[in-house]
Amino acid sequence: MAGLFSRLVKRTGASILFTIDGEAVEAREGDLLMTAILLHRPALRRFEFGESSRAGFCMMAACQDCWVLLADGRRLRACSTPVEPGMAVIVDGDPNG
């Protein structure tokens, strides 16, 4: 699946492995969770009130559009949270389990 974001500046930080809907993917140290996901996927989560997805909006922790769900039940605001090794993000999976 093509990501929405594209990197313009090469990152030299350490590799960080995490998963999106069970698929292992790579990010770099210094990537926000939002960046890490959108470099691989076109969206962050499903919208609760319709058949559509969301990919964030303001990127400054104000609009609250970029909440993502982790498999461990945590809900994180992706634009203000650094990606961490081992995070298991649910983008298109069924949040009801």
Partner 1 sequence: MTERLTTDVTIIGGGVAGCAAAVALRRVGLKVVLLEKGACGAGASGVNFGGVRQQGRSLVELPLARRSRAIWDKLNEMLGEDVEFEATGHIKLARSEADMAELERYARDAAEHGLELQLLGANAARADLPWLGEKVVGASLCAEDGAANPRLVGPAFARLARRLGADVREHALVNAAAREGERFETRTDALAVDSRFLVNAAGIGAGKVASWFGEEVPLGPVVPNMLVTEPLPIFVTRSVGVCGGDVYVRQVSRGNVIMGGGRGWGDAELLHSGPTTDQSLTGMRKTLDLVPALRGAHIIRTWAGIDGQMPDRIPVIGFSATTPDLVHAFGFSGHGFQLGPVVGEIIAELIADGRSPSPIEPFAITRFAEASVLPAAAAGVEH
Partner 2 sequence: MADPLVVIVGAGPAGVRAAETLALAGLQPILIDEAERPGGQIYRQPPAGAVRPGIYGLEIRKAAGIHGVLAGLGAVDYRPRTLVWNVFQDRLDLLTIEGHGEQRFDRLILATGAMDRALPFPGWTLPGVFTLGGAQIALKSQGVSIGRRVALVGAGPLLPLVAHQYVGAGAQVVAVLDVTPFAPKLLQLLGLAAEPGTLAKGLWYTARNRMQGLAAAYGVRAIRAEGKRQVEALIYKDAMGVEHRIACDAIGASCGLRSETQLADLAGCAFVFDQVGRQWVPQRTGQGRSSVPAVYLAGDGAGIGGADAAELQGRRTALAVLEDLGRPVDLAEAARLDRRLARQARFRKALENAYPFPDHLLDDVADEEMVCRCEGITAGALREAARDKDAAEINRLKAFTRIGMGRCQGRVCGHAAAELLARASGVGIEGVGRLRGQPPVKPIPVLGGVP
Which partner in partner 2, partner 1, none is near 71 (CB below 5 to 8 A by kind)?
Answer: none
d(CA 61, CA 86): 23
Which partner in partner 2, partner 1, none is near 32 (CB below 5 to 8 A by kind)?
Answer: partner 2
Report the amino acid identity of residue 88: A
d(CA 58, CA 64): 8
- Tell me whether residue 13 or residue 95 sits nearer to partner 1 (CB atom): 95
CB 2 within 8 A of CB 8: no
Q: Does 10 contact partner 1 by CB under 8 A?
A: no
Q: How many other C-beta atoms are found inside a 10 Å radius of the C-beta of residue 85?
A: 11
What does the binding site for partner 2 look like in residue numbers (CB under 8 A)? Answer: 4-13, 28-32, 35, 38-39, 42-44, 47-50, 52-65, 67, 75-77, 80-82
